[in-house]
């Protein structure tokens, strides 16, 4: 029996790897160098699913993903939220007294400023949090440390010098799971999220009119992101998310009204809302 595979961007030990292990323990997690490689792995059939970060509560949207999604042939089939926890780690034998530099992804360094300042460390940017941990393990230098998820310490044999070094305890990343096959969550089976993209027509107040149907039909829109397409400095394409199923009366009427003022409406996914949304 073939073990299903789920692709993620980053090196083993990254947060994307961690959420793959938590949510899909029966899948083989496959590390990819870039988001483009992740999409290609699923599109080619080399992986069954892709685990992709889409938003962070501190850093905001993951810009690359928002540009891949509208043009991809993949579909969103699930979402998961991960509370981000960073640890300060170093090679065995190092201590808080010996470390001088700290390596990590630029976003992780920005989210752990307090401990960096407290310990007087020099931050050095790496391409990936888990990659930084691997580099520290390879260097075996007691003056170098990394900020990475705790899973990376286990994988690369590093000592954790301090847990939970992130500045904010609400640091959370939302991930979406992508698949080749369009699988729509059943209507009436619990809270559902519908994600779609659309282009507005070149009409006065087109966006206002296009979105008006969601307000008048009582549909909660949780995301609206704009894009510049075709090299024009005008926001004509939008990615939106709403609470509800396209078969719900209110959502169905709102999408019908949306069509009058837009072109190329494309539903990217209708999937169960993660329980984190209810917290």
Report the Cα–Cα distance between both ends of the chain, in Å, rounded.
38
Residue 125, phi then psi, degrees to nearest 5: -80, 130
Is 50 in contact with 32 (CB distance < 8 Å)? no
- Looking up tokens 């949304």 gives 277
Q: How far apart are CA 33 and CA 16, in angstroms?
A: 12
The one-character DSSP state at 106 is: H
Active site residue 173: yes
Q: Which residue has the tokens 């850093």?
A: 59
Element (H, E) at 160: strand 159-162
Catalytic, out of 87, 129, 173, 262:
173
**Active-site annotation holder among 39, 86, 175, 214:** 175
Q: Name the token pair of 228.
A: 């510049």
279 CB contacts (<8 Å, ≥6 apart)? none
Residue 87 annotated among the catalytic residues of the structure: no
Sign of CA dihedral 172, 225, 196, 40: negative
In the DSSP assignment, the letter for residue 154 is H
CB-based burial label for 232 (10 Å; 0-12, 13-18, 19+): exposed
Euclidean distance between CA atoms 214 and 184, whole angstroms:
21
Bridge pairing between strands 144-148 and 101-104: parallel
Annotated catalytic residues are 173, 175
């Amino acid at each position: 029996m073939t073990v299903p595979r789920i692709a993620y961007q980053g090196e083993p030990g990254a947060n994307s790897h961690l959420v793959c292990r938590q949510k899909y323990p029966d899948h083989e997690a496959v590390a990819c160098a870039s988001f483009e490689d992740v999409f290609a792995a699923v599109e080619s059939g080399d992986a069954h699913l892709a685990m992709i970060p889409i938003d962070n509560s501190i850093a905001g949207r993951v810009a690359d993903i928002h540009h891949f999604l509208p043009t991809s042939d993949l579909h969103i089939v699930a979402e998961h939220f991960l509370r981000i926890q960073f640890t300060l780690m170093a090679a065995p034998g190092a201590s808080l007294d010996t470390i001088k530099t700290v390596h990590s992804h630029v976003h992780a360094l920005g989210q752990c400023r307090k401990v960096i300042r407290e310990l007087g460390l020099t931050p050095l940017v790496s391409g990936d949090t888990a990659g930084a941990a691997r580099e520290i393990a390879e260097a075996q230098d007691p003056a170098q440390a990394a900020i990475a998820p705790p899973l990376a310490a286990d994988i690369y044999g590093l000592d954790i010098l301090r847990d939970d070094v992130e500045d904010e305890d609400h640091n959370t990343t939302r991930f979406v799971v992508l698949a080749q096959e369009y699988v729509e969550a059943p209507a009436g089976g619990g809270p559902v999220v519908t994600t779609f993209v659309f282009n507005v027509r070149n009409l006065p107040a087109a966006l206002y009119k296009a979105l008006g149907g969601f307000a008048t039909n009582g549909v909660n829109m949780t995301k609206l992101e704009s894009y510049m397409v075709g090299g024009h400095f005008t926001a004509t394409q939008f990615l939106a998310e709403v609470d509800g199923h396209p078969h719900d009366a209110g959502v169905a009427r709102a999408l019908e009204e949306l069509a009058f003022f837009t072109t190329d409406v494309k539903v990217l996914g209708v999937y169960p809302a993660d329980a984190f949304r209810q917290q």
